[in-house]
A = this chain, B = another copy of it.
């Protein structure tokens, strides 16, 4: 098991945060530094110090991985469009490909519904159009004929036993919902190219943590993240990051889910490599 990243130096939080914010905003003098001057200048300082200097500067997930997690969470929440735009721009600024961002937003449909995905894609379109350096052609995949088999294979790789249990538990009450999870969720969405399974699970952990309404699914997908090569430290980092975007209760409840999942894996004896 990787250790949780060590504590960053308490000094220089503002400078460290400002450097990260410059990278994300793609400008030497980010607007965020001044935008609250007339109403809450301290919150601008606290944003730089805490959101960027404490959290986004932490080791573990890279800045592009962190931006994709933030984009997924804000898209799922659906109530913070200015920040979603800022972080889609931010993802592009730190090197995410437009296609990765689009795949994350398609993935959002599974966990927060189609309206959340569609509204976020509207924001992404505006972000892409505002950048002459972006030359984006969407990937298309044709409709598959083996959706069920492909989905079953992917579900097994991601969720293993826990995923099988979810499907089995639906058999007596809503079997078609189980079939849709396999066919649509895993056969159509998870199996798409352009975003690897580890990135999909990082986005899923971010979304389920931020939404705060999906505790059982958060546990299934913490297992999923670890099953596809993610680490416990990564999981903790993404959950902690959600304190910035959805508040401390969301992060604390996410940690509670992680503690339970880690204990389950320790009991099974399979956690040694995480």
Chain A residues with a Cβ under 8 A of chain B: 4-5, 7, 10, 14, 36, 38-43, 45-47, 49-51, 54-55, 58, 74, 76-80, 82-83, 102, 105-106, 109-119, 121-122, 124-125, 128, 136, 138-141, 143, 147-148, 166, 170, 173-177, 179-181, 183-185, 188-189, 192, 208, 211-214, 216-217, 236, 239-240, 242-253, 255-256, 258-259, 262
A39-B138, A41-B140, A140-B42 given; A174·B255 CB < 8 A: yes
A246 touches B102 (CB 8 A): no
Contacts of A109 in B (CB 8 A): 43, 46, 247
Q: Are A119 and B248 neighbours in the complex by a CB distance under 8 Å?
A: no
A148 to B54, CA, bound (A): 14
A54-B184 CB under 8 A given contacts A43-B118, A79-B79, A213-B249: yes
Q: How many copies does the complex hold?
A: 3
A119 adjacent to B80 (CB under 8 Å): yes
A256, B76: Cα distance in complex, Å? 22
Q: Is the CB of A115 within 8 A of B50?
A: no
Q: How far is the CB of A201 from chain B (nearest CB, A)?
A: 14
17 residue pairs A–B, Cβ–Cβ below 8 Å: A7-B175, A10-B147, A10-B183, A39-B125, A43-B106, A50-B184, A51-B114, A55-B180, A74-B115, A78-B79, A82-B122, A83-B118, A111-B249, A174-B239, A177-B255, A211-B212, A211-B213
Question: What is the bound-complex CA distance between A10 and B43, given in angstroms?
Answer: 45
Task: Name the residue on B nearest A256 (C-beta).
Answer: B216
- In Å, the complex CA distance between A259 and B113 comes to 22
A247 with B175: CB separation less than 8 A: no
**CB-CB nearest in chain B for A240:** B177
Residues of B within 8 A of A116 (CB): 79-80, 247
* Contacting pair B143 A45 (CB below 8 A): yes
Q: Which residues of B contact A102 (CB under 8 A)?
A: 39-40
Given contacts A4-B176, A180-B54, contact A39 B79 (CB under 8 A): no
A247 and B112 contacting across the interface, CB-CB below 8 Å: yes
Q: Are A247 and B111 in contact (CB under 8 A)?
A: yes
Given A79-B79, A180-B54, CB of A185 within 8 Å of CB of B143: no
Question: A46-B109, A211-B212, A213-B213 given as contacts; is B173 within 8 A of A258 (CB)?
Answer: yes
Q: Is the CB of A175 within 8 A of B4?
A: yes
**Residues in chain B near residue A45, CB distance under 8 A:** 143
Tell me whether B43 and A245 are in contact (CB under 8 A): no
Residue of B nearest to A255 (CB): B174
Structural contact, A121 and B40, CB atoms closer than 8 A: yes
Give complex CA distance A109, B7 in Å: 22
